[in-house]
Structure 1
Amino acid sequence: MSDPNFDDAPDDDLPRPPSKSQLKRDMHALLDLGKQLIDLSTDQLKRLPLSDRLYDAILLAQRTNAREGRRRQVHYVGKLMRDVDAEAIRQQLETWAHGSRQQTAHMHRLEAIRDRLIDDDEMLTKLLNDYPSTDITRLRTLIREARKEAKANTQLLQGQSPQRKHYRALFQALKTLIDEPEST
């Protein structure tokens, strides 16, 4: 007879713990992330959500030259990585490595505005309407100098490098004028 309080059927509704292999893969992924952190500069490390203990361990690993000592310190960093938000760190590293799509789109937009300012005076009027606090004199000077630069670059001989000083300065002025859209 079967006991009504005991159920022999497996309960598929309960979540299963991760397998041993999955745990090992996760630990190796954290170790690899820790290795990436060890290769970062101090300024970059300060901008990441790291505990003081992990931050100190990373700095020690950066200073350790002995092969075995460094290996042990890297593994210690990997162990400390278990207590941090690894996904936030991965996202920040990805952004630093490739830039966010939003940042890239913003830079392309600024480049297009710069090119239109050099080619068309009406774009300056539109820009001044959108950003009335703009230093008009400085912007007009940059546009005029960028146009001169572009004209001089069309007359270069083969092998000569084009001048881009004012072209870049105009871009930087637009970059400070037009704020990057906030991340959503």
Structure 2
Amino acid sequence: MRGIDEDSGEFRGPSRSQQRREALDVLELGRKLSELTDAQLERLPVPESLLPHIRETRRITSHIAHKRQLAFLAKQMRREEDEVLDAIRDALDESGDAARREVAAMHRAEAWRDRLLDEGDTALGAFIDAHPTADRQQLRQLVRNALDERKRNKPPRAYRELFRAIRELVVDAQEG
């Protein structure tokens, strides 16, 4: 029986209202997960056992059936450890640590790209020193192509490729 233990005076467990609030929080988390794309889901620490349920929830479009599937997803999620759900919430939270690290890596990559385009080989040498696994020849070619695109007022294809290559190296260095 719930309530207060007569011998010790302590609560025996969470109240029914608290249990309901926690269940609704998990349901809301499940709704957020089902609205994400596959690429966004891959970046989150979602257990493999939940991925088929998330995809099935996304696939169903009928209102009542979707609601029922979402409730089933929440039930499956409540079976997971609290730490797993907290890690997913933190990764989803834009003010969370994972989002901050990702934004910081993106800003570093942008700064390196601009520096490479402005300073040329001196910046490339500094970048290679900071990231020894980088392919000097590929980066030099991308910088050359990006500068050529800028000069000819062409679409910034190489400019974006340069950013992707730099971001990949920056993220690898951050994780390593």
Q: Is the 8 A contact 1:34 1:78 kept in 2?
A: yes
Q: Give the SS at the match of 1:100.
A: helix
TM-score (norm 2): 0.68
Structure-2 separation of matches of 1:133 and 1:58: 37
Q: 2:155 aligns to what? A: 163
Q: Give the SS at the match of 2:175.
A: coil
1:48 aligns with one of 11, 33, 46: 46
2:29 aligns with one of 33, 43, 51: 33
Note the alpha carbon deviations across 1:130-171, whole angstroms, 9 max, x for none. 445543333222222322333344xxxxxxxx6312221222
Give the structure with the larger helix fraction.
2
Q: 1:71 aligns to what? A: 67
Q: Is the 8 A contact 2:91 2:99 kept in 1?
A: no
Q: Structure 1 stretches of 5 or more lacking a match?
A: 1-7, 154-161
Q: Structure 2 stretches of 5 or more lacking a match?
A: 1-5
Q: Is the 8 A contact 1:149 1:166 kept in 2?
A: yes
1:2-151 correspondence to structure 2 within 5 Å: 11=9, 14=10, 17-41=13-37, 44=41, 48-49=46-47, 51=49, 57-85=53-81, 86-94=85-93, 100-121=99-120, 122-132=122-132, 134-151=134-151
Structure-2 separation of matches of 1:133 and 1:70: 47
Higher mean alpha-carbon deviation, 22-31 vs 100-109, is at 22-31
> Which residue identity lines up with residue 182 of structure 1 in the other structure?
E
Q: Give the SS at the match of 2:93.
A: helix
Matched positions, count:
163
Structure-2 separation of matches of 1:171 and 1:141: 13
> Which residue identity lines up with residue 16 of structure 2 in the other structure?
K
Q: Is the 8 A contact 2:45 2:87 kept in 1?
A: no
Per the alignment, do residues 41 and 171 of structure 1 end up closer, same or farther by CA in structure 2, a change over 3 Å counting? closer
Q: Is the 8 A contact 1:103 1:180 kept in 2?
A: no
* Bigger radius of gyration: 1
Per the alignment, do residues 69 and 16 of structure 1 end up closer, same or farther by CA in structure 2, a change over 3 Å counting? same
2:174 aligns with one of 155, 160, 181: 181
Percent of residue pairs identical: 34
TM-score (norm 1): 0.65
Structure-2 separation of matches of 1:133 and 1:10: 62
Structure-2 separation of matches of 1:61 and 1:127: 45
Q: Is the 8 A contact 1:110 1:175 kept in 2?
A: yes
Structure-2 separation of matches of 1:60 and 1:108: 36
> Which residue identity lines up with residue 80 of structure 2 in the other structure?
V
